[in-house]
Chain A
């Protein structure tokens, strides 16, 4: 089953390139530490998901590239073609000649509707190339201007047109000390819109990845390219083929088939016999955890620690909330690697902080005119605040 990737804006396109590159070079890696047949199954599965085959054998990424200015897209296309091992489709990108000043409202209300047909046409062409569509993977930043606004619009459209397909948005959580003044506004608008139309939000924080580059990898001058490569490595180790408990003889068919349950239930009337208090967040409670193990000794790996009921909410048994996927095939030359994908209270603090900062700015109506000018009214802001507050509350009450 195949995934169609939509790369949006500068962030989405740069990261998307690194992801495809990481996936393909892992797929061709000779140090898989497994038998030939296993390796071939792995390669075939990876190819089917992310690439389509052309006549002369060069894999073409199943991706649509969208940006409002041509520079980054051209760079991405040429980097891919230069690698010689894969490339993007010739007509798989959409861009405009002129940029447009980093404005979320402009991206959502103007660019989006204006170019809706062209972009959705490109996506439809990619979908038709797939024998079976597993879903969409949308890469975008959260706090950017046009990329984030268009991303929110496109995700909504995908929800309307492909309501039966899964959508996962990869969003980049901005640096705490970011440069864009209105990044908190953009963030809350993006998040609240995506929350309604996406099935899963996979979050990477720039600050966390930056720390990895600095402390674990000892890179002195950290560039965006370093950060993107770390991101791509993490995403690759989530997306490459694995076996799960249900299908132990074939690689899992649906890579997006993760029971994310991103929408935590809204905290309604307290259940009988229990008082809902605002507990102190002294322990990170999870709704769902997914551990992915790759490489040597996966069969004997001990994951019992993850099945502790204390880690999970009271209304869910660990057996329903915890999943393990394994494969002997090593990833990207790492003899053993593990990835944890977690739907938990981990993001409550950062989210709360962003909402707080945005609210403070909103209270004094700073910079609102940039949004009202293009159709995002104060009511929309209030709606966003409300829904995000609800999210924070539900997660706090887990």
Chain B
């Protein structure tokens, strides 16, 4: 493992407290990162730091999303997975592969492995992307022409005739009920929004940690150089390294061949069936008759079919333009203004949505006016009845 080239001046500029801060930023930016104390102990190969580092490596290397399931996997299993993952990525140090899996020793090796991973790629950023909160920066767009239907149809009102006051009371009850449903939906929305806010705050803190880590990285690498220095030099015995190939189940060529043969038989059968049908049709067509009317008819058919085919093709070419956007879109801020094919501009979308809103509001006002008229008519139909509207809420 080569030493990473580090500008020593950068490290010298940082003060004495810079190293713990750098490590603290690193561990904050990783999911469930261990404390700086663990790192310090690992430099001196203390056994108590081992299991924390196995678990951290497992989180970093595991392809599964985080969850309760991960926590319940035994340490030995985690260690084995870490070893095979590192090996398949080409980790050069033999000593790691030979570590015991019970977490009793090897914390320095694990620390070296972690720093190898950190040097290879932007690990904290990758971990952040994995656990990204999708709700804050995503929205669903639906530009489909057919707007969803306007809810269940209103109960049918008798145009003429006496109205039973009980029916009206029933309607009032229904209205009150819907109102209360609306209120509780709004309350739910508030609760969920505050939950969302808290998750976003958590994510912001992680982001800040990543930024702090990037700023103080050089200090960390200087320190890692000293860690590497305390290790015994390794003999490059690459040739004798056992290769951990990913285990492929022995499905065997035999099965594949069987499948291939079956598919070939099926193809032959289908071709035969097609041939038979074509022969039968041609016989029928030939037997349809000759004569000028027949050939004229055939000509007419051919022309119609060609026209339809041309129309279809045209239609298809038109349609293959940008389809109406549908589904979740991510909000991305772009400075250069260049937009891809599938991208929508926020300004355009806002304009469209505003005009749709205006239309819907107009429809709502119209419907409300209609309801008011209807109520007034009903009130007039029952002389002697006093209407007391509910108190405005």
Binding site for B on A (CB under 8 A): 1, 57, 131-135, 164-166, 245-246, 254, 257, 259, 261, 263-265, 268-269, 271-274, 313-317, 319-320
Contact A132 B191, beta carbon cutoff 8 Å:
yes
Q: Can you show 21 pairs from A to B with CB atoms below 8 A apart?
A: A1-B184, A1-B188, A131-B191, A132-B188, A133-B184, A134-B184, A164-B184, A165-B184, A257-B177, A261-B170, A263-B173, A265-B170, A268-B165, A269-B165, A271-B163, A272-B162, A313-B166, A314-B164, A315-B164, A315-B166, A315-B170
CB <8 Å contact, B166 and A133: no
Known: A164-B184, A254-B184, A273-B162. 14 other contacts (CB 8 A): A132-B192, A134-B184, A164-B183, A165-B180, A261-B173, A265-B165, A265-B170, A271-B165, A314-B164, A315-B166, A315-B167, A316-B167, A317-B155, A319-B155
B356 contacts A by Cβ under 8 Å: no
Contacts A265-B170, A315-B167 given; does A259 touch B184 at CB 8 Å = no
Q: Given the complex, which residues of B lie within 8 Å of A131, measured CB to CB?
A: 188, 191-192, 195
* Those of B169-197 within 8 Å (CB) of chain A: 169-170, 173-174, 177, 180-181, 183-185, 187-188, 191-192, 195
Q: Closest CB of chain A to B193's CB: distance in Å?
A: 11
Q: Is the CB of A265 within 8 A of B166?
A: yes
CA distance A57 to B67 in the complex (A): 13
Contact A317 B188 (CB under 8 A): no
**B156 lies within 8 A of chain A by Cβ:** yes
Interface assignment of B152: CB less than 8 Å from any CB of chain A: yes
Chain A residues contacting B180 (CB-CB under 8 Å) are 164-166
Interface-central residue, A1, A254, A265, by most chain B CB under 10 Å: A265
Determine the distance from Cα of A57 to Cα of B167 in the docked complex, in whole angstroms: 49
Which residues of the partner chain B approach A271 to less than 8 Å between Cβ atoms? 162-165
Query: Across the interface, which residues of A come within 8 angstroms of B181, CB to CB?
Result: 254, 257
B contacts, CB < 8 Å to A: 68, 152, 155-156, 162-167, 169-170, 173-174, 177, 180-181, 183-185, 187-188, 191-192, 195
B195 contact set on A, CB distance < 8 A? 131
Residue of A nearest to B190 (CB): A132
Q: A265–B174 Cα gap in the complex (Å)?
A: 13
Given A265-B169, A271-B164, does the pair A317, B191 have CB atoms closer than 8 Å? no
A324 CA to B166 CA in the complex, in Å?
Answer: 24
B155, B164, B170, B187: residue with the most chain A Cβ atoms closer than 10 Å: B170
B166, closest chain A residue (CB): A265
Given the complex of chains A and B, what is the CA–CA distance between A268 and B155 in angstroms? 23
Hey, which chain B residues are within 8 Å of A246, CB to CB? 152
List B contacts of A272 (CB < 8 A): 162
A135 to B177, CA, bound (A): 12
Chain A residues contacting B174 (CB-CB under 8 Å) are 259, 261
The 5 closest A-B pairs by CB, nearest first: A132-B188, A315-B164, A265-B169, A265-B166, A272-B162
Taking a contact as CB atoms under 8 Å apart, the answer to whether A132 and B184 are in contact is: yes
Among B167, B183, B195, the one with the most A-chain Cβ atoms within 10 Å of its Cβ is B167
Output the least CB separation between A318 and chain B (Å). Answer: 12
In the bound assembly, the distance between CA atoms of A398 and B264 in angstroms comes to 74
* A264 and B169 alpha carbons, distance in the complex (Å): 9
Taking CB atoms, residues of chain B closer than 8 Å to A268 are 165
Closest to A263 in B: B173
Q: What residues on B are CB-neighbors of A259 within 8 Å?
A: 173-174, 177
Q: Which residues of B contact A273 (CB under 8 A)?
A: 162
CB B102 to nearest CB in A, in angstroms, measures 26
Q: Which residues of A contact B184 (CB under 8 A)?
A: 1, 132-135, 164-165, 254
For the complex formed, measure the closest distance between the CB of B252 and the CB atoms of chain A, giving whole angstroms.
31
| Contact A316-B170, Cβ < 8 Å, known A257-B181, A272-B162, A273-B162 | yes
Residues of A within 8 A of B183 (CB): 164
List of B residues within 8 angstroms of A264 by Cβ: 166
A-side contacts of B188, CB under 8 Å:
1, 131-132
How far is B184's CA from A132's CA once the two chains are assembled, in angstroms? Answer: 7
A310 to B163, CA, bound (A): 19
Give Cα A373–Cα B252 distance, bound, in whole angstroms.
90
When C-beta atoms are compared, the residue in chain A nearest to B381 turns out to be A272
A269 to B385, CA, bound (A): 10
Task: Assess the A317–B156 pair: CB atoms within 8 A.
Answer: yes
Q: Which residue of chain B has its CB nearest to the CB of A246?
A: B152
Which chain A residue shows the least CB distance to B182? A164
- Say how far A173's CB is from chain B's closest CB, in angstroms: 24
A268 and B181 alpha carbons, distance in the complex (Å): 29
Residue of A nearest to B189 (CB): A132
The CA of A291 and the CA of B184, in the complex, are separated in Å by 25
* Chain A residue nearest in CB terms to B171: A320
A134: chain B residues within 8 A (beta carbon): 184
Whole-angstrom CA separation of A274 from B162 in the bound complex? 9
Docked Cα-Cα span, A25 to B162, in Å, equals 52
CA distance A269 to B164 in the complex (A): 10
> Hey, which chain B residues are within 8 Å of A132, CB to CB?
184-185, 187-188, 191-192
Name the residue of chain B whose CB is nearest to the CB of A261: B173
CA of A245 to CA of B152, assembled, Å: 9
CB-CB under 8 A from B191, the residues of chain A are: 131-132
| Complex contacts, A165 vs chain B, CB 8 Å | 180, 184
Across the interface, name the chain A residue whose C-beta is closest to B152. Answer: A246
CB neighbours (8 Å) of B192 from chain A are: 131-132
CB distance from B18 to the nearest CB of A (A): 37
Bound complex: CA of A319 vs CA of B153, how far in Å? 11
A272, B180: Cα distance in complex, Å: 33
Determine the chain B residues whose CB is within 8 A of the CB of A316 once the complex forms. 167, 170
Residue in A closest to B185 when the chains form the complex, CB atoms: A132
Q: How far is the CA of A257 from the CA of B180 in the complex (A)?
A: 10
* Bound CA–CA A264/B165 (angstroms): 11
Q: Give, as a whole number of angstroms, the nearest-CB distance from B172 to chain A.
A: 9
Interchain nearest-CB distance for A178 vs B (Å): 33
| Minimal Cβ-Cβ distance residue in B for A320 | B155
Contacts of A314 in B (CB 8 A): 164
Chain A contacts for B167, CB-based, 8 A: 315-316
B164 contact set on A, CB distance < 8 A: 271, 314-315
A239 to chain B, nearest CB (A): 17
Residues from chain B with Cβ under 8 Å of A269 in the complex: 165
Chain A residue at minimal CB-CB distance from B68? A57
Nearest chain B CB to A264 CB, angstrom units: 8
Q: Could you tell me the distance in whole angstroms from the C-beta of B17 to the nearest C-beta in chain A?
A: 36
A313 to B155: give the CA distance in the assembly, Å: 15
Closest partner residue, chain B, to A321 (CB atom): B170
Q: Shortest distance in angstroms between B381's beta carbon and chain A's nearest beta carbon? A: 9
In whole angstroms, what is the CA distance A214 to B169 when docked? 42
User: In whole angstroms, how far apart are the Cα atoms of A271 and B162 in the complex?
Assistant: 7
A166–B167 alpha-carbon span in the complex (Å): 22
